[in-house]
Amino acid sequence: MSKANNMNTASGNKPRTIDIVRAGLAKRKASERRFKLYGKIAIGLGLLFLLLLFGSIAGNGYTAFVQTYVKLDVHIDADRIDPAGNRDPKELSRADYGGLVKASLREMFPEVNSRREKRQLYRLASTGASYQIREMVLADPDLIGQKLSLWVPADDEIDMLMKGHIDRKSAEDDRRVKDNQIAWVDRLVSEERIEKRFNTIFFTAGDSRDPELSGIWGAAAGSFFTLIVTLLLSFPIGVAAAVYLEEFAPRNKFTDIIEVNINNLAAVPSIVFGLLGLAVFINFFGMPRSAPIVGGLVLTLMTLPTIIIASRAALKSVPPSIREAALGIGASPMQAMIYHVLPLAMPGMLTGTIIGMAQALGESAPLLMIGMVAFIVDIPQGAFDPSTVLPVQIYLWADSPERAFVERTSAAIMVLLAFLITMNALAVMLRKRFERRW
C-alpha cells in the first residue's frame, strides 16, 4: 500500500486508475447493498401478504374439515315407515324418516312439551339425518323394527355452537341458538352423545341449502370436467397455431395482424368470453346450459392466447442451430419441427399450458354468464351434466347468509388452492422431466 502511494506521488499529478477505483468503491458497495435490500424488502412484503392470505383462509376454514355429529337412538318403527308390511321399496323410499328422528329426539328429552320447544329440539339434528336413515333402510330392509344407535350430522347452528363460533354470553335474541338448545347440547356433551368428527360430507357431497350437508365434490367434479374439455381443446389448437405462426407462416401484414390480435385477445376481460359463449354456444348452437362442455369451450377461448404466446416463446428459444442441423442434411421443415424443435420447446409449452389451465381453474366470471352459477345438488357424471365449478361454488357460498358457510367458503378456497399448487407442482415436474432428456 505504501509502495503504491510512493509510486503515485512519483508519477506526479496524474492519479492512478486504481486510486480512483478505490475511492469510489465504498459508494459502489453501498449502492449494491441498498439494491439487495430493496429486493429483500420486496420479497418480504410479498411473503407477508401471502402468509396473511393463507393464514386468514386457513384460520377461517380449518374448522370446516370437522363436523359435529349427534348420537341418536332411532327405533325404526315398522308402523311408521312400513305400515303395510310388504317392504315395497317404493313405499319405503316415501316413508316419513324425519318422524323417526323427531321421535328419537323426543325420547331423549321427554321433558320437552310445548310445540315451540319441540321445534327447537328438532333443530338439533340435521335434516340429513332422515336421508341417512332412509338410505340405510333401503339398503337393508331387515333393519325395520330394530333399534339403532346412530351418529347423524348435527344442525349447522349446533355445529357452530360446538366450534365456538356462537357467543354464549350474548343476548338470547341476538343468537340463532337459544338458551334451551344450549342446555340440551350441554347435556348431550356430558352424555358423550355429541362429538366432532372428520367432515367426510364436505368432500363427498354436492351443494346443499343446509351447510352441514353441503360439499365441494360436485364443484370439484365440475371443475375437473371443465378443465379436461379446456385442455383437450386448447393445448392442441394452441400448439398448432404457435407452430404454424412461428415456423411456417410467411411474415407479412396478415400474420402481423393475427399476432397483434392474439396479444389483444389475451387482454380481453374474461366476462366478454362468457357473453360470447352464451351467444354462440348456448343460443346459436343450442348446447346445454350450466354444462362443463360449454364452460370448457369458453375457457378454451380464454386460455388460447396464453398458450399460443407461451408456445411461440418456447419455439423461439430453441436455438436455430438445431433447425439448421436438421435442414442441412435434408430434413423437411416439418421433420425438423416434429423430431427436434417441438421436443425441445415442449417444456416451455407445457409450462404455458399449465399456467393457462391454472388461470382457467380460477376463473368464475365467464362461467356465470353461461349458467354455471346455478344451484346444483347432483354431482355431475360427465361434461354434459349441469354443474358448477370451484370458484363459482366459493362465490355462491360466500353469498350465503348462514354462519356455517363462512368456514366452508374458506375451506373451498383451500381446496382450490390445493388444486392450483398441485398443478403448478406438476408443471415444474413435467418441465424437469422433459429437460432431463437433454
| Site for another protein, rule CB under 8 A | 250-251, 319, 321-332, 335, 339-340, 344, 437-438
48-57 b/e with 16+ CB inside 10 Å = b? eeeeeeeeeb
Residue 82 vs 247, nearer CB to another protein: 247
Strand partners, 149: 73
166 contact partners, CB below 8 Å, separation of at least 6: 157, 160, 175, 176, 177, 403
Shortest distance, CB of residue 335 to another protein, whole angstroms?
5
Residue 233 vs 322, nearer CB to another protein: 322
Residue 339 vs 375, nearer CB to another protein: 339
> Which phi and psi (to 5°) does residue 400 adopt?
-80, 145
Shortest distance, CB of residue 428 to another protein, whole angstroms?
20
Query: Is there a contact between 181 and 120 (Cβ–Cβ < 8 Å)?
Result: yes
Shortest distance, CB of residue 247 to another protein, whole angstroms?
11
> Which phi and psi (to 5°) does residue 368 adopt?
-60, -40
Shortest distance, CB of residue 326 to another protein, whole angstroms?
7
Residue 5 vs 332, nearer CB to another protein: 332
Shortest distance, CB of residue 321 to another protein, whole angstroms?
4
Shortest distance, CB of residue 341 to another protein, whole angstroms?
10
Query: Is there a contact between 218 and 206 (Cβ–Cβ < 8 Å)?
Result: yes
The DSSP result for 7-52, as a single string, is: HHHHTTTS--HHHHHHHHHHHHHHHHHHHHHHHHHHHHHHHHHHHH
Residue 6 vs 255, nearer CB to another protein: 255
Residue 27 vs 251, nearer CB to another protein: 251
Shortest distance, CB of residue 353 to another protein, whole angstroms?
21
Q: CA–CA distance from 87 to each of 99, 138, 322 (Å)?
A: 18, 9, 75
Shortest distance, CB of residue 332 to another protein, whole angstroms?
5
Residue 15 vs 328, nearer CB to another protein: 328
The Cα–Cα gap between 23 and 4 comes to 14
Query: Is there a contact between 67 and 197 (Cβ–Cβ < 8 Å)?
Result: yes
Shortest distance, CB of residue 309 to another protein, whole angstroms?
22
Residue 284 vs 438, nearer CB to another protein: 438
The Cα–Cα gap between 393 and 413 comes to 9
Give the residue ranges of DSSP H helices in 205-285.
217-243, 253-266, 270-277
Shortest distance, CB of residue 262 to another protein, whole angstroms?
20
Residue 148 vs 327, nearer CB to another protein: 327
60 contact partners, CB below 8 Å, separation of at least 6: 406, 407, 409, 410
Q: 379 is written with which cell numbers? A: 354431482
What single-letter amino acid sits at 370?
A: I
The Cα–Cα gap between 361 and 224 comes to 9
Residue 38 vs 248, nearer CB to another protein: 248
Q: How far from chain centre, in Å, is Cα 356?
A: 15
The Cα–Cα gap between 83 and 424 comes to 58
